[in-house]
Amino acid sequence: MSRPWPVWAAFLIVHAIVAAAGWLLPSQPMGDVVLVYQPWAQAALGGDAIVGITESWVYPQLALPPMLAAHAIAVPFVPLLGGPGAYLVGWALLVTACDALGLTLLLRGRGPRRLAAAWFWVAALLLLGPIAMYRIDAITVPLALAGGLWLASHPRLGAAALAVGAWVKIWPGALLVAAIAAGRRGRELAVTAAAVTAAIAATLLALGAGERLFGFVTAQTDRGLQIEAVAATPFLWAAVAGDAKIEYSFDILTFQIDADGAAAVAAVTTPAMVIAVAGILILGALRARRGAAWTHLLPPLALALVAALIVTNRVGSPQFTTWLIVPAMLWIVFDHTRAHTTTALVLLVCALTFCIYPLTYDGLLAAHPVPVLLLTVRNAMLVVTLVVAVHAVLRTATTRR
């Protein structure tokens, strides 16, 4: 286990298992790929609407290139599997290739910490199941990992990678903000990220994005309370008792809570997120000013920010669990002696998420008690992860009392 080849073997085997499981398990865990991503890609390639450019989109605009890349990879498989099946294979191969690049970068730095982080990644993928591969979030995991590792050795490159990642799915920006707050070359990181963001925005405007440039932000403002969100937990138990309903929103393609007070709770989540993120950043900046080591402060600070984005979110999509994987891996690499509790929590959250989606998701939609209990425990573990990460930030050693 001290050599890299066993982890590479496990890495490839687990990707094959998880990719195949998407075809076999209930609730269509790979559904978004063929029902949403493929039509978006085909429309753009066929000269129709280009999401994020000619029409508003729920994702940042750089989420489209991976969907187009999967379409190109799928072409040789079309005669054998047909369009949808070929696209699924193309997507799985794309994710595996991106993860392989991330693992290569991780293992370039020899040592037991990096091997331990690699084994953790393999375990997290296996425990989380198909949702770890068949969502756009899967593309951001190796990109965020590369950016996080480069922050220590090539800060500008790391900041650029995380800025690009934030234009695929917003969450890698949390790692960048955490690095800036942690105080090591913060101004340089901020300037680099701003320059990359300006270049991307200018390109998108030149392509005709116009007022749709930040449509992925405004598109979220009208969303209701999604059933997997932490704040929706009490309403799910109300649904078990028959006092609330679970309804499907065709506007945003997700299941939401329909109950008295649900809209008010959903409205509160956004200011709660702002307060939580601001509080965590201030706490991290204060620890940095007191002399906390950057490598010891960044991982818990990044995990706390990512966990706060999930816990205070009105959306609770199962793929959000992938966001926790990279901060946990960075924690193992940079400060392994304090990483045991949080890595165990992240693996537990991955396993519970898999038990909910896709294994018992049909029962959750019907408000059956067992799936609701599983989701309640999972959401509680998310809150515990947030608390543990914040506590670790507070306990990070400083040079001054």
The whole-number pLDDT of residue 400 equals: 62
Locate 310 and state its tokens: 């999930």
What is the number of structural domains in the chain?
Answer: 1
**370 located within any domain:** yes
Task: Indicate the residue type of 311.
Answer: V
- CA–CA separation, 273 vs 331, rounded Å? 23
**347 located within any domain:** yes
Task: Indicate the residue type of 47.
Answer: G
- Model confidence over 304-362: pLDDT tens digits? 999 999 999 999 899 999 999 999 999 999 999 999 999 999 999 999 999 999 999 99
> What's the helix, strand, coil split of the chain in %, to 5?
75, 5, 20
Closest CA to 224 of 251, 199, 203: 251
CA distances from 213 to 39, 53, 55, 204, 252 (A): 21, 7, 10, 7, 19
Kind and range of the H or E run holding 254:
strand 254-258
Asked whether the beta carbons of 296 and 397 are under 8 A apart, the reply is yes
Mean pLDDT value across the chain: 94
Q: What angle do CA 378, 382, 384 make, to 5 degrees?
A: 110
Kind and range of the H or E run holding 1:
none
**69 located within any domain:** yes
CA torsion through residues 161, 163, 164, 167, sign: positive
Indicate the pTM of the whole model.
0.96
User: Would you say residue 2 has pLDDT above 80?
Assistant: no
- Model confidence over 15-67: pLDDT tens digits? 999 999 999 999 999 999 999 999 999 999 999 999 999 998 999 999 999 99
User: Would you say residue 218 has pLDDT above 80?
Assistant: no
Question: Please, is 401 exposed, middle or buried when counting C-beta atoms within 10 Å of its C-beta (0-12, 13-18, 19+)?
Answer: exposed
Strand partners, 246: 257
User: Would you say residue 253 has pLDDT above 80?
Assistant: no
Proportion of the chain above pLDDT 70, given as a percent: 98
Question: Please, is 153 exposed, middle or buried when counting C-beta atoms within 10 Å of its C-beta (0-12, 13-18, 19+)?
Answer: exposed
The band of 221, judged by pLDDT with boundaries at 50, 70 and 90, is low
User: Would you say residue 85 has pLDDT above 80?
Assistant: yes
Q: Tokens 């040592």 identify what position?
A: 111
What b/e sequence results for 59-89 when a residue is b if at least 16 CB atoms lie within 10 Å of its CB, and e otherwise? bbbbbbebbebbbebbeebeeeeeeeebbbb
**9 located within any domain:** yes
The whole-number pLDDT of residue 1 equals: 53
Task: Report, as an integer, the average pLDDT of 98-110.
Answer: 93
The whole-number pLDDT of residue 109 equals: 75
Instruction: Please give the residue range of the domain that contains residue 8.
Output: 4-394
- Model confidence over 158-214: pLDDT tens digits? 999 999 999 999 999 999 999 999 987 889 999 999 999 999 999 999 999 999 999
**399 located within any domain:** no
- Model confidence over 265-284: pLDDT tens digits? 999 999 999 999 999 999 99
The whole-number pLDDT of residue 184 equals: 79
